[in-house]
Amino acid sequence: MEVLHPRCAGLDVHKDTVVACVRIQGHKVERETQTFGTTTSELLRLLEWLQSARVTQVAMEATGVYWKSVWHVLEGSFSLLLANARAIKRMPGRKSDVTDAEWIADLAAHGLIHGSFVPPEPIQALRDLTRTRKQLTRQRTQHIQRLQKVLEDANIKLDSVVSDLLGQSGRAMLEAIASGESDPQRLARLAHPRLRASQRELEEALLGRVTEHHRFLIRLHLGQIDAADATIRTLEHRLEEKLAPFRTHYERLQSIPGVSETVAAVILAEVGPDLSAFPEAHNLLAWAGLSPGLDQSGPKQKNTRTRKQKWLKTTLVQAAWAAVKTRDSYFRAQFHRLKARRGSKKAIFAVAASMLTTAYHMIKNGTEYQELGADYFQGRDKQLLARQLLRRLRRMGYDVDLRAAA
């Protein structure tokens, strides 16, 4: 097999150690292996050792977050490759850190490693912010759910008559309950006049068995929710600063139906404004987990699922549900067209893929969003049917001239 990189290295990265193997192709293959720590001084020693060996390419395995510190130290000095652990899995047999490093070096020498997408540092910082915001939002939701469980345990049915438990009315009643108020009539009078629930319904819902333990838990969860809200506001302010260099793309993406400020920020944080790592839109769709794989053997083709991607993929699917609610839009027409044949799940994934394809061309080419309209498929199907019938008539020996009816 042809050797593409005669002087390369493979790194087996762990939390406290990095096992490095330098592979040099001459008349015969020479290998040298050393083990380094993961402190900054040890990584700088690794850098000097690789430079002294005149290595041109370094490949490493993506193991958790441990590869990041190694990447930051070596970046700029070598051509770096980050390999997916599943893609470079060894054949069964004797396994050690040394043999793993040698295996990675051999794959890199022959060009058999497909590098993972690693965005530049500004995009990595933006990605950290959007992912942290999502995690904080999830934690906030968990506290709301625990708060609902506490109310159910106290037989308070407030969430059955109030649409937003933490809205103006719900929050006022919860704080009063936490402070020791137990009279349903007094609690019901705290509701906003525009609340749909009647005074009688509120009193019935607020009549429960609230103990001091319940009040303690209500105060605890309300405090955690307030702390999460404050942290999210601070994070969003920081996010606005980091998005400033990409303001044009950020605002342009929001013209896509279903793409809010949050979704636009996630798209930019996950893929960045430079899409050179994705030559075509289908490459980005495959990376984002919105394109099914291929598993075919002979006449049999197995059903393949899309790859897991918990950040961009989940956000786009949520945005797709919002997009299909937009009247007279292409995405709504696409969803209902596919839903009848393939079901809601596959239809919404197709809409999410179309939205990412649209975002790809808007970012890469700097174009504005163009709405195709709800009647796009009707016009396309009509033209397709006309061409099919025309070909059939010509095969039958007729010469037909199509003209639109007056």
Whether residue 261 is found in the same domain as residue 344:
yes
383-388 mean pLDDT: 76
CA distances 53 to 34, 36, 70, 113, 147, Å, are: 12, 16, 18, 21, 60
Alpha helices in 53-198 (DSSP H): 66-74, 97-109, 121-153, 158-161, 168-178, 184-188
CA dist., res. 47 & res. 390, Å (int): 68
Record the tokens describing residue 181, joined without a space. Answer: 């108020």
Among 50, 81, 109, the domain boundary falls at 109
Per-residue pLDDT, averaged over 124-153, amounts to: 95
pLDDT tens-digit profile of 162-196?
A: 989 999 999 999 999 999 998 999 999 999 988 88
* Last residue of one domain, picked from the residues 55, 83, 109: 109
pLDDT-derived band of residue 299, with 50, 70 and 90 as boundaries?
low
Are 145 and 179 contained in the same domain? yes
194 with 293, same domain?
Answer: no
Residues shown for the chain: 406
The rounded distance, in Å, linking the Cα atoms of 24 and 46 is: 17
The pLDDT assigned to 144 comes to: 95
Strand 7-13 vs strand 57-61: parallel, antiparallel, or unpaired? parallel
Residue 186 and residue 85 in one domain: no
Q: Is residue 290 domain-resident?
A: yes
Radius of gyration of the chain measured on its C-alpha atoms: 29
For 315-372, the pLDDT digits (tens) are 999 999 999 999 888 999 899 989 988 899 999 999 999 999 999 999 999 999 998 8
Residues 339 and 381 reside in one and the same domain: no
d(CA 18, CA 76): 19
86 and 129 fall within a common domain: no
**Domain range spanning residue 252?**
248-365
> Which of residues 346 and 380 earns the better pLDDT score?
346
* pLDDT tier at 87, thresholds 50, 70, 90: confident
Mean pLDDT of the chain: 89
- 268 and 202 in one domain? no
Using the predicted structure, report yes or no on whether residue 295 has a pLDDT greater than 70. Answer: no
pLDDT for the residue numbered 156: 93
In a domain, 293, yes or no: yes
Let me know if residue 1 belongs to a domain: no
38 shares its domain with 149: no
At 375, the pLDDT band (50, 70, 90 cuts) reads confident
Q: How confident is the model at residue 212, as a pLDDT?
A: 95
Strand partners, 20: 11, 34
Same domain, 356 and 386: no
Query: Which of the four pLDDT bands, split at 50, 70 and 90, describes residue 302?
Result: low
Distance CA 205, CA 197 (A): 10
- Please tell me whether residues 252 and 231 are part of one structural domain: no
What local confidence, expressed as pLDDT, does residue 297 receive? 58
Model pLDDT for residues 227-255, shown as the tens digit of each residue: 999 999 999 999 999 999 999 999 999 99
358 occurs within a structural domain: yes
Please give the Cα distance from 181 to 210 (Å, whole number): 10
Do 103 and 138 lie in one domain? The reply is no
Percent of the chain's residues with pLDDT above 90 = 64
Q: How many domains does the chain have?
A: 4
Domain edge (last residue) among 109, 142, 167: 109
Q: Are residues 200 and 278 in the same domain?
A: no
User: When comparing pLDDT for 138 and 373, which is higher?
Assistant: 138
Alpha-carbon torsion 296, 301, 306, 308, what sign? negative
CATH of residue 85's domain is 3.30.420.10
**pLDDT number for residue 26:** 83
Predicted pLDDT at 386: 78
pLDDT at 406: 67
Note the pLDDT tens digit of each residue in 6-56.
999 999 999 999 999 999 998 889 999 999 999 999 999 999 999 999 999
Does 370 map to a domain?
A: no
C-alpha dist (Å) from residue 346 to 293, 315, 377? 14, 16, 18
Is residue 115 a part of any domain in this protein? Answer: no
Return the higher-pLDDT residue of 48 and 85: 48
234 is a domain residue: yes
The answer for 111, left when phi > 0, alpha when psi is -120 to 50, beta otherwise, is left
On whether residue 117 sits in a domain, the answer given is no
